[in-house]
Amino acid sequence: MPDTVSSRGLSPIDTAKYAAARRAVEFVQNGMKVGLGTGSTADWMVRLLGQKVRQDNLHILCVPTSKRTADLAHAQGLALTTLDEAQWLDLTIDGADEFDAELNLIKGGGGALLHEKIVATASDQMIVISDVSKQVDTLGAFPLPVEVIPFGLQSTRALIEETLVSMDVAGRKTTLRRNGDALFKTDEGNHIIDLHVQRIGHARQLALALNQLPGVVENGLFIDTCDLVLIGHGDGHVDAQGIHDPAAAEDMALGGKNIFTDL
């Protein structure tokens, strides 16, 4: 049986992640089909969701976005399925590397951006869980991941750099993501080129331009995908930000109250 997930002894940053994740799993109801994101904040969510399922005797099906998440979810006793079998999801809960006021995201720091985007797009609702450090005025400080196929890797990289010249960005440096001495490989066997653009003036334009390039599989800009962001703080407080109605977002997030008051 997995251990009970506790907030005791956590650092402020882990407390913030725990807080956002705990609030997010309260949206999961019996019978739902749920997409599980990838990353350090999503790891908290998976563990807390496993605990909720056990405590409340919920029957849900989960679609993981990576092998890493699948392994953790299996260890938590969550019932897993594939997206093809589920066909459509009620909810996806995931983290983000950056988000702006319009809930545009940069994702892919964990290397699962392709699966994450497919799963999020196949969901009625996407909730992002984050700490306050991921909130930005303008996307781009976090390197933008672009997943590319291995064939013609350097040619694709050159095309990307050439494309950046005509984009509203502040930098055009690119790097090939590595895993030790080898190139990083995604779960689909592809590679990732990180774009150090510093600032993205028009995220939608950049996303469309990148995905038109031969060799590019997908980019880490998530536009018009996220419905609600739950922002955890080091004291356990959770704020909510929704694109359409911030007041309704607060209600959805149970008033943004401190999660530790009911422990």
Closest CA to 217 of 154, 150, 148, 164: 148
> Residue 22, Cβ neighbours under 10 Å: how many?
25
DSSP H or E stretch at residue 195: strand 191-196
Distances from the Cα of 11 to the Cα of 6, 197, 200, angstroms? 12, 31, 31
Alpha carbon 157 to its chain centroid, in Å, reads 24
147 noted as active-site residue: no
Residue reference for tokens 């009970």: 4
Distance CA 170, CA 172 (A): 7
Q: Please pick, among 98, 116, 147, 218, the residue that the annotation labels catalytic.
A: 116
Task: Give the residue numbers annotated as catalytic, written as ranges.
Answer: 116
